[in-house]
Amino acid sequence: MTTPATATSPTFDTTFASLPERFYSYTQPVSVTLAAPIISNPILAKELGIDLQWLASDEALQVLVGNQTAMGSAPMAQAYAGHQFGSFNPQLGDGRAHLLGEIVAPDGQRFDLQLKGSGPTPYSRRGDGRSPLGPVIREYLLSEAMAALQVPTTRSLAAIATGETVMRQSPAPGAVLTRIAPSHIRVGSFEYFAMQGDEKGVKSLADYCLKRHFPHLIDAPQPYLLLLNTVIERQAKLIAQWQGFGFIHGVMNTDNMLICGATVDYGPCAFMDQFDPDKVFSSIDRQGRYRYNQQPGIGQWNLTRLAQALLPLLHTDSEQALADAQQALDNYVKHYGAAYQAIMSNKLGISQPQEGDQALTEELFAIMAEHKIDFTLGFRYLVDQIATPTEHVALGAAFIAPQAFVVWQQQWQQRLAQDPQSQVERYQQMKRANPAYIARNHQVELAIRAAEDQGDYEPFYALLKILQAPYDYQSELITYVLAPTPDEMVKQTFCGT
């Protein structure tokens, strides 16, 4: 392929380069000789203002695999640190990723365009900087599934096969993912400078975040405290959404928590099938630190590390700075509680929450845990119970409620009788909150195995199409809505680094 004469190449900017060079290292991706396109995302490209003809061109293929540098691009790897499973690592950084630069979308928003699996960087720590095909497919599916669920997330613009073999537990074909994010600045980015006693670096990074993400706060009194409070609120709401969809991130290290409030790093993550509040999928989370019911608390723990890094900026008086930080962290509980209550009210069709709703929800989860009820299908079944439109398609035999669940429904129906909204309004509310399709582990694994073992991408394409419309159940696509059989169940997920 060649670039069509009418195609317009994107122009990159890199405001991150305005920061001192100790924040990053300029480094070029390592070229490959047998690059081949797997998929691109025209819907996202249109949102970003990227020319679709260019995206389909050979020039785009070469740029997005790392063989060619686009206009305005100055590839770099960002420096950051992080608490990993509670232990501090003073230097992590982008070990297999290159930030090509930033694209300004038609609405004026700025987005990072980053390649993952594009070769080693100064932060690779003896790693090869490459990615097997499997993790690229996993991130593409999971990030686009989350976007369709309207959960803040990084996005996937393209996946490209490198034609190389990557050695992990066994040989695997290599690939490069093009990841889009509002930015890649992490809690660990602030820790990197704070732990070195580099207050100037912390301030420079905070000023950059204010300018890029929260310009309305720059001229406000105590802008750094407002920055902390805003990040806390965004993260609380994000994690509440994870809980509402049964999503388990798997590696909630501080280097995987973005300041902009988007989900990042789809390594050993998973959506739950059978509900288990202590569920862990990640093969490296041996102590269950990041299990499902621990995620809200870990969010606050991570944000405490951010507050510590920002302390010198919060107030000239150290005691007042500490008090301000503590108040902000206390607000996390309020933000999370309010967001979680709203999410659960939507899932249960309640428009005006009452005091007893929490007990009703807790009883539901206790029944789901005891009877190993599928998280997604259990809630979607409740949508069936209040459905009124003639076009609604019920789960039918795809989910059979146990008797304890049916008994609980009577309490739930009594509660709904006290709520003022109409049945049609309730149906629409619940349908928007309870997907029929999620990125189920066994379906993702089938797509990965077909691609890695047979070079067959059709299962990947088919699953992606379904995940892009998660609320519209179609009986002919029942395979994708079904919970896994015991033989199909995936009990562990892996990060792929």
Residue 264, Cα to own-chain centre: how many angstroms? Answer: 4
Query: Could you tell me the two tokens for 450?
Result: 């077909």
Helix (H) or strand (E) holding 44: helix 42-48
Residue 384 CA to residue 452 CA, distance in Å, equals 38
Kindly provide the residue ranges of all beta strands, DSSP E only, lying in 70-127, ordered along the sequence. Answer: 76-78, 82-84, 87-89, 97-104, 110-116
Centroid of chain to Cα 268:
12
324 annotated active-site: no
Strand 110-116 vs strand 270-271: parallel, antiparallel, or unpaired?
A: unpaired
Tokens of 421: 């909204």
Name the DSSP letter for residue 379. Answer: H
Which residue out of 94, 112, 128, 255 is catalytically annotated?
A: 255
Q: Around Cβ 403, how many Cβ atoms within 10 Å?
A: 9
Find how far residue 103's CA is from the centre of its chain. 20
**CA 180 – CA 43 distance, rounded (Å):** 13
CB 77 within 8 A of CB 94: yes
- Rounded Cα distance between 348 and 412, Å, is 8
- Active-site amino acid positions: 255
